[in-house]
Structure 1
């Protein structure tokens, strides 16, 4: 059994030390993910997607400023102790609302949707910006808004300036979205500007890697089936979990996700999860695997919440959804 550091981390430096988490597992195919992914993939490659809108409760008047939480050993913990049931549920313990960010506001990205917890009693929250992939609209990844926000994050899912933007342009838009959240948005007072993360699918996943390289103060990144023209991420210093797909032929893991992971040589912690038998669209579709491990990674490194170590260490066991899992444990 490898040791996991459980102490709270200092926020006085631009990058913080992180606990060490072990790896390695495999498992059989998950037919439901594959069948859903194949149908969406054919539409995606034809540059069109069938989008299911996310239904949220209408936006209420915003409450007063969040209270400062002082009752926890780690002041950044949010929500009750997690369980397998809570982390895999479609909604977490926080009720959520949304704020639309209209186009044409000069915010550095096209438009977006902010989803946020309504409860202010536990203090401010970490924030996550999410980009869709090439020719995909914001609605394609909109499910991540309420899924993540209900676990205790402020989330902005964006439409990029054009659907054809390449990863580096999307990276700038992810950073602009984080800046908008923390300085201009209607919910800026609910956000801790020191606890930020990026996430994205395909070229949006490549964008999350580039955004992390450009702004190492980011606390976590979760690229989904990432695509980029470079594998040179050795200077990236952000804790990163890459979720790839075994049968991805748009961003084959052997050419993208796996070398990206291997080249994260400066990341204090990293993990690689490969979805068994899945293709390119699977990590971005609403599914338990992306949600569970994405939430655990964000909680662990954005919120310093060691209660979520249980989902990362020991590493995931063989399952119908996971074909491979790798991660780091430098101090063994």
Structure 2
């Protein structure tokens, strides 16, 4: 039987309404990542000194904590988007949190709660610094004034020098962590084959304190080949590149934490394929992630 144009038009409309109703019954978030925070990233947004979130900070005295030396918490003031992932960061040998303070608000403004810590003594070794990073995360998620802003299932660690070695130690000890970023790491332990945490090692080509040939590169090589991992060497950078604002370091650190703490695949574009950046002398990875 031949259908009239009006009848066909009505049939099309009815089918469209049915399809629309069916689609409406599927939660809108089902196809989205509930952990995404902030606008779509661009090269300029991850290179900026501040991201889209306003940031506040609170000082934590060593007198009210156990297992580490206190520190400063930087956190987004916006609570409308839900909870955030969190990162604890350790300074290096003989240094205090002031040596890495610039990283705190820079990361927090991209949508993380960040805890730059002091160690119990300035001379603590990497294994101790790893324990202190984990103690800081426990304080941050269980006792701190910002604990309700944090998703306790999305945590990461970072650190400079012996704090970078401590980052690897912490990742080795707590496989539930989501990401680790050691910066110019130093550690007498050269075997991290037990690490199950996505790890991005950043070394300095001209580092004479923790030469990449005897620290960063062996660390990376012993991480499992099946692990999501990357190694970046900054062109002509000394051991102390994390102590001053460093755009190249920050942009890839942000991208790694976004990708693995927030499961935010919008940041894949900055990590895979291998970045073409004149400030990078070497880059290795197990990409795609």
For residue 328 of structure 1, what is the aligned residue in structure 2? 286
Q: Does 1:281 align with 2:240?
A: yes
Task: Tell me which residue corresponds to 2:67.
Answer: 108
TM-fit CA distance, 1:71? 8.6
Any unmatched runs of 5+ in structure 2? Answer: 1-27
Q: Which residue number corresponds to residue 177 of structure 2?
A: 218
Q: Is the 8 A contact 1:168 1:210 kept in 2?
A: yes
CA distance in 2, matches of 1:108, 1:142: 20
Q: Deviations over 1:162-188 (max 9, x none)?
A: 000000111110000000010000000
* Residue of structure 2 in register with 1:265 after alignment: 224
Tell whether the 8 Å contact from 2:108 to 2:114 is kept in structure 1 after alignment: yes
Q: Pick from 214, 217, 238: which aligns with 1:255? A: 214
Which structure would you say has the larger Rg? Answer: 2
Over the aligned positions, Cα root-mean-square deviation in angstroms equals 1.5
How many residue pairs match? The answer is 262
Please state how far the C-alpha of 1:284 moved relative to its aligned partner: 3.7
Distance in 1 between residues matched to 2:68 and 2:194, nearest whole Å: 26
State the Cα distance separating 1:96 from its structure 2 match: 0.3
Q: In the TM superposition, what are the counterparts of 1:24-39 in structure 2 within 5 Å?
A: none
Aligned-partner Cα distance in 2 for 1:70–1:180: 31
Distance in 2 between the 1:93 and 1:318 partners? Answer: 24
Query: What stretches of structure 1 move > 4 A for 4+ residues in a row?
Result: 69-72
Aligned 1:85-100 pairs, distance under 5 A: 85-100=44-59
* Structure 1 equivalent of residue 149 of structure 2: 190
Q: TM-score, normalised by structure 1?
A: 0.77
Q: Is the 8 A contact 1:132 1:138 kept in 2?
A: yes
Distance (Å, rounded) in 2 between the aligned partners of 1:137 and 1:82: 32
Q: Identify the structure with bigger relative contact order (alpha carbons < 8 Å, sequence gap 6+).
A: 1
Q: TM-score, normalised by structure 2?
A: 0.88
What SS class does the counterpart of residue 214 from structure 2 fall into?
Answer: coil
Aligned residue in 2 for 1:49: none
